[in-house]
Amino acid sequence: MKHGLAAFNSDQHNRYSTTASILSKQDRELDEQLNVFQQRLVEFAKVHNKELRESPEFRMKFIRMCASIGVDPISLFDKERHLFDVNDFFYEICVKIIEICRKTKNLNGGVISFDELHKGYFEQFKVQLNDLQKAVEMLETLDGGFEVFCIRGKKFLRSVPNELTNDQARILEVCSILGYASISLLRLNLEWEPVRSDAILKEMVANGLLWIDSQAQGETLYWDPAWIVRSNFA
């Protein structure tokens, strides 16, 4: 029992706490309803798989509806049961790959490793590395400037149209060991003259493929931005 002015406050306090509890209850209920609806939608897709597969128009409308209530189309596909047309699954991956390449272009100059794509973005959707590879193959047929190349056994995807020269690829190869390249490092490993190394390194900086680090001891280092992701998963 409170006395004095405090006695008036308790009632008011109760009123606000009931409002708050009603609001949070409503919030929870809405969440549940949305979850149920999403599940039903996935079930619907499984039952009407055949119709969805046969009528592209129906399929488009269905996918659009899913996207608008927050069901990611990739999560709808079931490779084993060939839900929808199986190619649609890969088309969705293609779209995602293009989006990611666009988004990270200014950071990495348009060169991204398969590891980064997979670990950084696709693993959460249960997309396997070989699904990713198949999708990238489909992208190549579009002739949109996407190209796969290998550096020390690791696959990379290049999404900008300017092709990597042999020399540039070899510099990226050196970078994949320590994270950076430098004039003396290239001289030791590839026996390149400083003039040649300097020209190519500067060009790669201009293209956004490498970042300059002028605070290292002795000489300027040129870093590959792929280092950031590698150190993240190390």
Partner 1 sequence: MTEKLPPIYNFPPLYTCQPNVLIREQQLSTWCDLILDFAKTNNAWCMSQEGTVIKDSESSGQSIFRNESIQRSISVPFRDQIWNKMVQSEKAIKSNNGVFFILWRSVDYWSSQILQWFETTGKVNQVVTVYELLEGDETLGWEFHGMHPSLCEESLQKLRDRGRATLLKEQNKIMGVKVV
Q: Which residues bind partner 1 (CB under 8 A)?
A: 9, 12-13, 16, 20, 106-107, 109, 180, 205-208, 211-216, 221, 223, 225, 227-228, 231-232
9: enclosing H helix or E strand: helix 6-47
State in angstroms the smallest separation of the CB of 103 from partner 1. Answer: 11
Rounded Cα gap, residues 179 and 185, in angstroms: 12
State in angstroms the smallest separation of the CB of 24 from partner 1. Answer: 13
154: enclosing H helix or E strand: strand 154-158
Residues β-bridged to residue 223: 180, 211
Rounded Cα gap, residues 41 and 39, in angstroms: 5
Rounded Cα gap, residues 142 and 152, in angstroms: 27
Which of residues 86 and 205 has its CB atom nearest to partner 1 in the complex? Answer: 205
149: enclosing H helix or E strand: strand 147-151
State in angstroms the smallest separation of the CB of 112 from partner 1. Answer: 14
Which of residues 141 and 217 has its CB atom nearest to partner 1 in the complex? Answer: 217
The pair of three-digit structure tokens given for residue 18, joined into one six-digit string? 């009931």
Which of residues 130 and 231 has its CB atom nearest to partner 1 in the complex? Answer: 231
Which of residues 134 and 230 has its CB atom nearest to partner 1 in the complex? Answer: 230
Residues β-bridged to residue 113: 156
State in angstroms the smallest separation of the CB of 214 from partner 1. Answer: 5
State in angstroms the smallest separation of the CB of 13 from partner 1. Answer: 8
Which of residues 97 and 160 has its CB atom nearest to partner 1 in the complex? Answer: 160
Which of residues 35 and 106 has its CB atom nearest to partner 1 in the complex? Answer: 106
The pair of three-digit structure tokens given for residue 214, joined into one six-digit string? 């002028």
Q: What is the edge-to-edge ordering of all strands in the sheet holding 211-213?
A: 180-181, 221-223, 211-213
